[in-house]
Amino acid sequence: MKDWFDSPEGRKSAEDYFEKLKKKEEVLEKRCERLKTHFSDNQSFDSLMSRILEKQEKYDKRHYYTYTERPLHVTDLVWELASSEGTPIEPVDGLTENFPSSIYEYFGYQFAITHGQGSVLSIYKNKECLYRS
């Protein structure tokens, strides 16, 4: 396997892979910038979160019996924005207190990724849980 990675096609494959990751990251950054531009105050961000959580709830209901419950791409995008632009805060409930968590406040919402046997995204407003995947 090491010989393959040292070969020209192995190096080319690795370069292609990392270029693809770089492009994905650039797209994510552009989307975050667009969100920051259009939703730059508490009222507009609150409106955005209401729409996202409504769509997420419909998505979760549709996929409940398939065991594929997970955040929508836009929900993940808001997490990325909150984790890069938000303020780190202390745990907000028993889950975030008892398991390793990264928690950020952004426009009055608290976003947490908690790690245990899996990872869970939680979204709170005024420390009341609105969504947990």
Of the chain, the percentage scoring pLDDT greater than 90 comes to: 51
Question: Helices marked H in the chain — which ranges?
Answer: 2-6, 8-38, 42-63, 73-85, 94-98
The answer to whether residue 8 sits within a structural domain is: no
Residue 103 lies in a domain: yes
| pLDDT 10s digits, 17-74 | 999 999 998 988 898 888 888 888 989 999 999 999 998 888 888 877 776 666 677 8
29 domain-assigned: no
- Rounded to two decimals, the pTM is 0.79
User: Average per-residue pLDDT in the chain?
Assistant: 89
In a domain, residue 18? The reply is no
User: What are the backbone dihedrals phi and psi of residue 102, each rounded to the nearest 5 degrees, phi first?
Assistant: -115, 120
Please give the residue range of the domain that contains residue 108: 39-132
Burial class (CB in 10 A: 0-12, 13-18, 19+), 56: buried
Number of domains present in the structure of the chain = 1
Q: pLDDT digits over 54-67, tens only?
A: 988 888 888 777 76
Rounded-to-integer distance, Cα 100 and Cα 44, Å: 31
